[in-house]
Amino acid sequence: MYIKKSVFGKLAGETDIDLYTLVNDHGLKMGIITYGGIVVSLEVPDRNGKLADVALGPGRLEDYAKETTPFFGAIIGRYTNRIAGGRFMLHGQEYRLTVNEPPNHLHGGFRGFNRVVWHAEPFETVDAVGLRLRYLSKDGEEGYPGNLSCTVAYILTNQDALQIAYEAETDRPTPVNLTNHTYFNLAGHDAGPIFDHELTLTAIGYTPFNETGIPTGEILSVKDTPFDFTKPRKIGEGIAALGRGYDHNLAFAKSNNSLSAVARVFEPTSGRVLEVETTEPGVQLYTCNFADCPITGKGGKIYQTYDGLCLEIQHFPDSPNKPHFPSTILEPGERYKQLTVHRFFTQ
């Protein structure tokens, strides 16, 4: 195991943006930069032991920083997904957020957690290497109330698992909903469409939405719909049934915040498998169908629609305006905690 630090680039008016490379004893390797806490690479072996980078991304700092770049590999916050009209009521007071996807607020606003520089602290344990990232989101940032102190730890274990542990504390009540926005392609980031990836989810419900992507408030059964992944199903089949790609929130079959297995992705050509466990109640399943494709990626690869798969582990969209959804409100004296584990192996 080892951790290597290098300079990834420099933004105008910013300090150097560092790249931390984490490697475990089996050769799994991931790269994380301090800008946005972005996972810029994730190399995983196939059934023959050949490594491939399974995380999509443009490769250059200036491209990650473009407004049109679709959140490749980044930490998303304060609130992943959409908040209707960029406003919500909390303890009798209305708060107005920046509206960066009119008419709604999306993924933390114009300068969400994906566009800030995080303070990094590398660390090692007996069987893992990790990077702890810290950021203070100040009161009023993008319209949110309270100073929010955030910590996100990426931990690469010798059991070939990537753990992402999130914590946050606030001095005023505020909504918090954090995730990571890595686009996966288990055949390799440059392998083309993810149609043949087989997906299994424990989700038994989904939240239908209106024309601007805001949930109606219903939680409907996935049975006999394109959202039913309770048995392995090729992503391409569901996309064909929908007539376009996925960008939908699905609700897991869990009633508490215990760590539970929720997702499995199998790519038959490489034999790579990704299994996901989380403490969260839902996932935004996204298949890169609305990205500004084509996008030039690492090594000059041209990414097209459907070349990546996001499993944005989360609470539900617009929860501050939907009291019957699981609450995302963090109060002073409480601690936000979330753990999501990605396990890699082959079959």
Condensed to tens digits (0 to 9), the pLDDT of residues 43-99 reads 999 999 999 999 999 989 999 999 888 999 999 999 999 999 999 999 999 999 999
Higher-confidence residue of 291 and 339: namely 339
342 is known as an active-site residue: no
Q: Which of the residues 105, 107, 181, 248 is marked catalytic?
A: 181
Strand partners, 264: 200, 275
Condensed to tens digits (0 to 9), the pLDDT of residues 312-339 reads 999 999 999 999 999 999 999 999 999 9
Q: What is the pTM of this model?
A: 0.96
Is residue 15 over pLDDT 90? no
**For residue 233, what pLDDT band results from cuts at 50, 70 and 90?**
very high
Q: What is the pLDDT of residue 260?
A: 96
Q: Which of 33, 86, 56 is nearest to 306 (CA)?
A: 56
**Residue 135: what are its φ and ψ, rounded to 5°?**
-150, 135
Q: What is the pLDDT of residue 339?
A: 98
Residue identified by tokens 């933004």 is 11
Range of the domain at 181: 2-346
Q: Which of 151, 176, 171 is nearest to 332 (CA)?
A: 171
Is residue 291 over pLDDT 80? no
CATH of the domain at 203: 2.70.98.10
Q: How does DSSP classify residue 109? A: S
Is residue 255 over pLDDT 80? no
**For residue 256, what pLDDT band results from cuts at 50, 70 and 90?**
confident
Q: Which of the residues 141, 142, 198, 312 is marked catalytic?
A: 312
Q: Counting every residue, how long is the chain? A: 347
Contacts of 269 (CB under 8 A, 6+ apart): 187, 191, 196
- Quick one: 93 exposed, middle or buried, by C-beta within 10 A (0-12, 13-18, 19+)? exposed
Is residue 269 over pLDDT 90? yes
* Residue-averaged pLDDT of the chain: 96
Q: How far is CA 90 from CA 44, 124, 173, 174, 263, in A?
A: 44, 40, 8, 8, 33
CA pair distance 309, 201, nearest whole angstrom: 14
Q: What is the pLDDT of residue 190?
A: 97
Q: Is 63 helix (H, G, I), strand (E, B) or coil?
A: helix
Is residue 14 over pLDDT 80? no
Question: In this prediction, what percent of the chain has a pLDDT beyond 70?
Answer: 100
Give the number of domains in the chain: 1
312 is known as an active-site residue: yes
Is residue 13 over pLDDT 80? no
